[in-house]
Structure 1
Amino acid sequence: MARLIKIFDTTLRDGEQSPGCSMNLQEKVQMAKQLETLKSDVIEAGFAISSPGDFESVSEIAKIIKDCIIASLARTIPKDIDAAWEAVKYAKRPRIHTFIATSDLHMKYKLKMSPEEVLERAVSMVKYAKKYCEDIEFSAEDATRSDPKFLVKLFEAVIDAGATVINIPDTVGYIIPDEYYKFIKEIKENVRNIHKVDISVHCHNDLGLAVANSLAAAKAGASQLECTINGIGERAGNAALEEIVMSLYTRKDYLDFECNIDTSKIIRTSNLLTSITGVPVQPNKAIIGANAFAHESGIHQHGVLNNRSTYEIMTPQSIGLNENKMVLGKHSGRHAFEKRLKSLGFHLTPEEFNQSFAKFKQLADKKKVIYDEDIEAIVSKHCFNTPEFYKLKNYVINIGNTISTTASICVTFNEKDIEEVALGDGPVQASFKAIEKIVGKDLNLEDYRIRAITKGKDAQGEAVVKLSYQGKTYTGKGLSTDVIESSITAYINAVNKIMLALSYDNKENTMNIP
């Protein structure tokens, strides 16, 4: 009988820590709802102590999500664990996930603690967390570069203290699959009480081995695999959920594992994350890349036409790709639009639906055909609301091949209109300079991209702007059939996210979370 592997999704915590992947409250909630639809076993909703914004998002997700375990990360520090519990206590199935580094390198240079002190801290903090809830996950940071004998001693002690999950992470993506298999085996065979807990692994992709290592760990006895959508995460990222799951699905003959993930929701989940973060997936990315089911070679095309299994080991439909897309137009009604939203995996409130439907109708007057990508873009823009501290009122661009480009931008801020004019090498640069003059902050443009959402001359242009401010990166998005307008609104959207973050920093927090 196939052994069940639990999927622990950390897109909203470890994934969001990757540069350019930050999300606001509404975006995190929408992503969490999609992860619930995907049937993830565990959603790590954030690191509650890290900021008031993170605390609020974990708390809100805990209140809304019913079918998944909701976890918050916490260092082995009482105030971290207090904050984690305050955030997840509303969950139907709450979990506190606490960690401490265990390698000699980390203990000596980062923690400046002895192994005995680390063990004592780990045990005392697992006991401390246990007073709040039953489900406690303990992680040994940098486990794969730790002394296995020390880990055995440590794991036995924290299990006795009440841990229900033991995580053995490859924090820096260092280990090789065969090596990891032996490492997990050694832990499993020598920890006397290991049968009382789930063994979890959390693999980073620094050597491109995160998925391979996760599968090797499962073969060795791990029962929970930690991963992210699209493999996002710090540095080179984490093990990609879609690659792990489809490996289990496609190679049941060899792996003999099963999981609860609804694979037909994979592409929708991937697209939602891309839409929220503005971070594209490379075309040749396994499972979800644009080329994953594309065949250009004549030999390949001939084989696929005769029998798809000649070059496809899984079907497009198995991950939720539907080759027959229904298109909508200006005569489509509310029912058809609502049905399409549900098929795309959106969960909207009545207010959000009405707002999206109104924008759909406006777009339908400009475009003959509305595609799925148009609908996804509309919902992403108008339902993941960032408060409009600055709101575009109007703009005028003067451009020609014999004059300098000039942009005049007028925005509303605190119910007052502010207008600035700037010169630039083109309409986009001039517009961005004018907005920066309005805002009066030292903003650094990290990235700017624009793409057509669909085919055709009337396609919507989606602009993505990434601004850095005080060491953090903020992603703004704009959408319009006019690419200049979409670029301007994307820049303003990024500025509004900066303003939102600053408003969080200035809030008085009743829990004294730094």
Structure 2
Amino acid sequence: MKSSSANYVRIFDTSLRDGEQAPGASMTSAEKLEVARALTRLGVDVIEAGFPAASPDDLAAVQAIAAEIGQTSIEGRPQAQPPIICGLARCTKNDIDAAWQGVKGAKHPRIHTFLATSDLHLKHKLRMSREEMTARAVEMVAYARSLCKDVEFSPEDAGRSDPEFLHKVLAAVIKAGATTLNIPDTVGYTMPDEFGALIEGIIKHTPGAKDVIISVHCHDDLGLAVANSLAGLRAGARQAEVTVNGIGERAGNASLEEVVMAIRTRGAKIGLQTGVDATQLCRISKLVSRSTSYPVPPNKAIVGANAFAHESGIHQDGMIKNAETYEIMKPQDVGATHTMLVLGKHSGRAAFSKRLTELGYPLEGDALLKAFNEFKKLADRKKSVLDADLIALASDERTTVPELWALDSLQVMCGTTGMPTASVRLRDPDGKIRSAAALGTGPVDAAYKAINGIVQLPVELLEFGISAVTEGVDALAEATVRVRHEEQRSSHGHGADSDIVVAAAKAYIASLNHVLSRQSSGRVQHSQSAPTEVPR
């Protein structure tokens, strides 16, 4: 799996485990499998597929990923071998057994177990002595090694642990069979110079450390996750634990795309390399954003909408003369593009399909026909349809959730006088048209009440967001909605339309379909998110 080069850095992606732990970012098994496929094409070395002991659904998702992704190479993957498939486990036999059940179907399985080493965690969380902690870690690493030859151990809160004690624990787990030592800055507390010194000290003072892989796992509470990860790698670590778009607990994790492109762009300074195909970074960023309903900020490094945008006249002048004046990497290097193929109402289906394929969103059959019809409607309302509009239209047709209920028509009345009213017609799962009308505090609220009157599925609205895909009054709008039904975990939906109320209605219907799809598969999980007001 690992390159023979001493300067090769393994990319360990934990989007499906730590990333999914971000509030409201949970994914279905189908969504996790789709992301795992994309991560494999991207060329990551390790996929942490989940926390199998957390729930039966998480175990099933890890098993599915191990069986498909962990067995054979996907076409286009940079490495010859399939990625390592990893499952997380606390230092207990039950967790380790569950992790092994999840990953054992992979060609290269790994069990990742962890236990805190900081005095703060030992005293207040674990209520264990240092001696008890060390004994537990050694026992469980040895047990994991009896099941799996690849075992990773993480001393949680290593950044705030006593270095001398940390060295003793790490030496002990190496003897017990650990093959990778992951050093987490669990709460994002350290500075880059501190974290680099921590890694350097571990390599220097831990017996056996030079015979295993040292890994870094940094959180972004102070905005230093990428800087700390790079400091650790430059100090001798050779695995970086990252997530797509930097999603994860609290402020998130080190961003995969930022770590990879920093190593690539500053290669002469850093002197390291990865096996990632950077041209797919923008594509997988959009996929993870859609799967989790976590939008990518426009100013996000590498993959944000503005990462290669220039508005200042001075900047534009420099770019015209030489792109290197204001761009330190080419947009094509990360799968972005400056090219705008302008499509209009006279464009045919062939040109539409070709451009979608070039953008990385190929559609076929009914999905292509439906997206093309929506494109024609949009083109009638806009002078030009931009790439971002096309991506939004294509994304609507690439959902992994079955379209049980579908919007047939929507009409709203609102203004400064009278009550906002919405009339809705939906196509039910049997293809029949059902209608309802309702009053609300605003057009979206009225539309949602009318939809509720038809579908009859009581849900609690947790989040609602809407944004313009492109500039101008005729911009395509994207809506995202997150709901919860009874004791289920939250479900999300997405919708796009030039009418913001229609986009909001599509997103709400998609979220209801998500709930119904989960019910039909028998999966019920909890969400702790707080409710929000119905949008007006």
Normalising by the smaller structure, the TM-score range is 0.7 to 0.9
Distance 2:406 2:317 in 1: 53
Is 1:360 the counterpart of 2:371? The answer is yes
Instruction: Give the conservation status (yes or no) of the 8 Å contact 1:355–1:382.
Output: no
Change (3 A) 1:304 1:376: closer
142-151 or 495-504, larger mean C-alpha shift: 495-504
Given candidates 259, 275, 287, the residue that maps to 1:244 is 259
Distance 1:275 1:345 in 2: 15
Partner of residue 438, structure 2:
422
Change (3 A) 1:507 1:208: closer
Distance 1:158 1:482 in 2: 59
Instruction: Give the conservation status (yes or no) of the 8 Å contact 1:5–1:223.
Output: yes
Change (3 A) 1:372 1:89: farther
CA drift at 1:222: 0.4
Given candidates 42, 47, 50, the residue that maps to 1:43 is 47
Distance 2:86 2:390 in 1: 32
Given candidates 16, 28, 52, the residue that maps to 1:24 is 28
Partner of residue 447, structure 1:
464
Aligned length: 501
- Matched-pair identity in %: 47
Distance 2:152 2:478 in 1: 41
Given candidates 12, 15, 26, the residue that maps to 1:11 is 15
CA drift at 1:294: 2.5
Change (3 A) 1:442 1:296: closer
Structure 2: any 5+ residue segments left out of the alignment? 74-81, 526-536
Given candidates 207, 219, 225, the residue that maps to 2:222 is 207
Query: What are the within-5 Å matches in structure 2 for residues 210-225 of structure 1?
Result: 210-225=225-240
Query: What are the within-5 Å matches in structure 2 for residues 276-425 of structure 1?
Result: 276-326=291-341, 331-333=348-350, 337=353, 343-345=358-360, 353-368=364-379, 372-388=387-403, 390-392=405-407, 395-399=410-414, 401-409=416-424, 421-425=437-441
CA drift at 1:411: 5.2
Distance 1:410 1:304 in 2: 50
**Paired letter, 1:182:** A
129-138 or 357-366, larger mean C-alpha shift: 357-366
Query: What are the within-5 Å matches in structure 2 for residues 484-499 of structure 1?
Result: 484-499=501-516
Partner of residue 173, structure 2:
158
203-212 or 399-408, larger mean C-alpha shift: 399-408
**Paired letter, 1:359:** K
Distance 1:11 1:159 in 2: 27
Partner of residue 128, structure 2:
113
Distance 1:27 1:355 in 2: 21
Change (3 A) 1:74 1:2: closer
Instruction: Give the conservation status (yes or no) of the 8 Å contact 1:48–1:80.
Output: yes
Instruction: Give the conservation status (yes or no) of the 8 Å contact 1:276–1:380.
Output: no
Query: What are the within-5 Å matches in structure 2 for residues 42-191 of structure 1?
Result: 42-65=46-69, 66=73, 67-191=82-206
Instruction: Give the conservation status (yes or no) of the 8 Å contact 1:2–1:256.
Output: no
210-219 or 495-504, larger mean C-alpha shift: 495-504
**Paired letter, 1:441:** P
Change (3 A) 1:379 1:289: closer
Instruction: Give the conservation status (yes or no) of the 8 Å contact 1:99–1:141.
Output: yes
Given candidates 425, 449, 474, the residue that maps to 2:491 is 474
Please state whether the residue corresponding to 1:107 is helix, strand or coil: helix
Please state whether the residue corresponding to 1:3 is helix, strand or coil: coil
Change (3 A) 1:389 1:52: farther
Distance 2:397 2:92 in 1: 39
Distance 2:397 2:318 in 1: 44
Please state whether the residue corresponding to 1:383 is helix, strand or coil: coil
Q: Deviations over 1:175-204 (max 9, x none)?
A: 111111111111111111112211001000
CA drift at 1:14: 1.0
Instruction: Give the conservation status (yes or no) of the 8 Å contact 1:249–1:258.
Output: yes
CA drift at 1:320: 1.8
Distance 1:442 1:35 in 2: 33
Instruction: Give the conservation status (yes or no) of the 8 Å contact 2:464–2:479.
Output: no
Q: Deviations over 1:371-420 (max 9, x none)?
A: 54455434533333224565556555344554312224455778698765
**Paired letter, 1:361:** F
Distance 2:355 2:68 in 1: 23
Distance 1:506 1:284 in 2: 36
CA drift at 1:19: 2.2
| Higher RCO structure (Cα 8 Å, ≥6 apart) | 1
CA drift at 1:471: 8.9
Instruction: Give the conservation status (yes or no) of the 8 Å contact 2:375–2:393.
Output: no
Q: TM-score, normalised by structure 2?
A: 0.84
Please state whether the residue corresponding to 2:401 is helix, strand or coil: coil
13-22 or 420-429, larger mean C-alpha shift: 420-429
Distance 1:51 1:107 in 2: 26
Distance 1:4 1:331 in 2: 47
Structure 1: any 5+ residue segments left out of the alignment? 509-514
Given candidates 268, 275, 284, the residue that maps to 2:290 is 275
CA drift at 1:221: 0.8
Distance 2:310 2:198 in 1: 40
Distance 1:126 1:37 in 2: 31
Distance 1:208 1:146 in 2: 21
Change (3 A) 1:101 1:497: farther
**Paired letter, 2:445:** Q
Instruction: Give the conservation status (yes or no) of the 8 Å contact 1:367–1:459.
Output: no
Distance 1:261 1:296 in 2: 31
**Paired letter, 1:479:** A
Distance 2:266 2:255 in 1: 16
Partner of residue 530, structure 2:
none
Change (3 A) 1:359 1:371: farther
Please state whether the residue corresponding to 1:131 is helix, strand or coil: helix
Distance 1:206 1:288 in 2: 21
Distance 1:89 1:420 in 2: 51
Instruction: Give the conservation status (yes or no) of the 8 Å contact 2:57–2:523.
Output: no
Change (3 A) 1:157 1:313: same
Change (3 A) 1:429 1:54: same
CA drift at 1:8: 0.8
Instruction: Give the conservation status (yes or no) of the 8 Å contact 1:19–1:473.
Output: no
Instruction: Give the conservation status (yes or no) of the 8 Å contact 2:464–2:482.
Output: yes
